[in-house]
């Protein structure tokens, strides 16, 4: 019998704005309308400056002992902002890991909540009512299952809503990733899997932790559309994400986006990337900085100049100061909060006893028991 091909596939790479700020006008139009208007680009660039300023200041807070370990978002702003802009605020659901601050801010998360989270204050994870997102996910890959479940609920309820979940290239080597992808593909859940391929799973390079030539091709096995985009190209990210979200909203099921980007800082402030990556590689990607690229584009169109840049940076510094003030000036939480926000009232009797005594053991709660009476008298 002759050998025949039963399946073949290709992965497309999408770039609209190159490193010199030159836009492919032909590809940057959808349905006769631009992917982004001039006003939108200016607005998003200013927002990008604000997010970068907050990010760099957060690094300084950690170094000065005012905050715990922090993972910088520097270099990945276009991926977060472009995808966040494509989703509908108050309708679509964002399910992040921990390097998508900009997208979360766009959808209503107060900026100081991120600082509270990394300061160890759980109130930073208390998502405000009406803000459609989950808290940051520190375990690698678990949030993709949550996003798939949320999307499945949207489908069951026949709600025109979509979940978009973020993760890094390293997370695609986790079992949770494959379970989420398989379920989403099989049941056509309206979810967008958005991989920020920044080339490093902490200190492990992409080519070491997976044999796939691209991350995008992993979606083929689960029967979903997939594309690789230049993750530092705001236009490409908006276009690809918008297409995927609208496809899901219309009943077309899940999609996968591999946004090729790079983290310009260490994995976290507890890391020293100089120990495992070459300085030449970092320098190459510094030249591909999404902020530099977008500024070049705006300047070519006479939409931006040094005066506007200085004003935007000053505004960003003032905003960042207010965010820090809000985070550091928050009233200290009460010890009772451990109990007050865990159970609905009334508390079970044994938990109420724990709240009164701040002890979990029966001996601690009742010092009159044998062996503790004397201790209680001398306390």
Question: Mapping DSSP to helix (H, G, I), strand (E, B) and coil, where does residue 205 land?
Answer: strand
Distance separating alpha carbons of residues 244 and 237, to the nearest angstrom: 11
Taking the C-alpha atoms of residue 310 and residue 261, their distance in angstroms, rounded to an integer, is 27
Identify whether 35 is preceded by a cis peptide bond (ω within 30 of 0).
no
* CA dist 172 → 20, 134, 194 (Å): 31, 20, 11
CA Rg, the chain, in Å?
24
State whether residue 17 is helix, strand or coil: strand
Which residues are marked as active site? 263, 267, 276
Exposure of 364 by Cβ count < 10 A (0-12 exposed, 13-18 middle, 19+ buried)? middle
| Burial grade of 145 (CB within 10 A; 0-12, 13-18, 19 or more) | middle
CA neighbours within 13 Å on the CB side: how many for 163? 25
Sheet holding 13-14, edge to edge: 13-14, 226-230, 255-260, 191-197, 163-168, 93-95
């Amino acid at each position: 019998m002759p050998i025949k091909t039963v399946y073949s596939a290709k992965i497309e790479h999408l770039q609209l704005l190159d490193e010199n700020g030159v836009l492919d006008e032909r590809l940057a139009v959808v349905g006769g309308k631009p992917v982004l208007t001039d006003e939108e680009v200016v607005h998003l660039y200013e927002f990008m400056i604000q997010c970068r300023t907050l990010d760099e200041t957060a690094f300084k807070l950690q170094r000065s002992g005012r905050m715990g370990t922090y993972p910088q978002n520097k270099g990945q702003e276009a991926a977060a902002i472009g995808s966040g802009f494509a989703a509908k605020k108050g309708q679509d659901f964002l399910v992040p890991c921990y390097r998508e601050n900009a997208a979360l801010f766009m959808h209503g998360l107060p900026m100081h909540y991120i600082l509270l989270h990394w300061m160890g204050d759980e109130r930073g994870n208390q998502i405000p009512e009406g803000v459609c997102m989950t808290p940051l996910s520190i375990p690698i890959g678990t949030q993709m299952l949550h996003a798939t479940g949320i999307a499945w609920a949207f489908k069951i309820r026949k709600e025109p809503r979509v979940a978009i979940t973020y993760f890094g290239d390293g997370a695609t080597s986790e079992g949770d990733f494959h379970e989420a992808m398989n379920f989403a593909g099989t049941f056509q859940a309206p979810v967008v899997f958005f991989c920020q391929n920044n080339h490093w799973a902490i200190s492990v390079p992409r080519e070491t932790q997976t044999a796939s030539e691209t991350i995008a091709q992993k979606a083929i096995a689960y029967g979903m559309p997939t594309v690789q985009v230049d993750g530092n190209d705001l236009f490409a990210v908006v276009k690809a994400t918008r297409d995927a979200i609208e496809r899901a909203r219309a009943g077309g099921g899940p999609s996968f986006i591999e946004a090729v980007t790079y983290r310009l800082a260490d994995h976290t402030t507890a890391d020293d990337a100089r120990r495992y990556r070459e300085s030449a590689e970092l320098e190459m990607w510094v030249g591909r900085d999404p902020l530099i690229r977008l500024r070049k584009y705006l300047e070519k169109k006479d939409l931006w100049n040094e005066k506007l840049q200085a004003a935007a940076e000053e505004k960003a510094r003032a905003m960042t100061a207010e965010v820090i003030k809000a985070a550091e000036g928050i009233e200290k939480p009460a010890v009772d909060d451990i109990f007050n926000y865990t159970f609905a009232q009334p508390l079970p009797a044994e938990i109420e006893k724990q709240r009164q005594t701040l002890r979990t053991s029966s001996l601690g709660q009742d010092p009159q028991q044998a062996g503790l009476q004397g201790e209680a008298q001398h306390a």
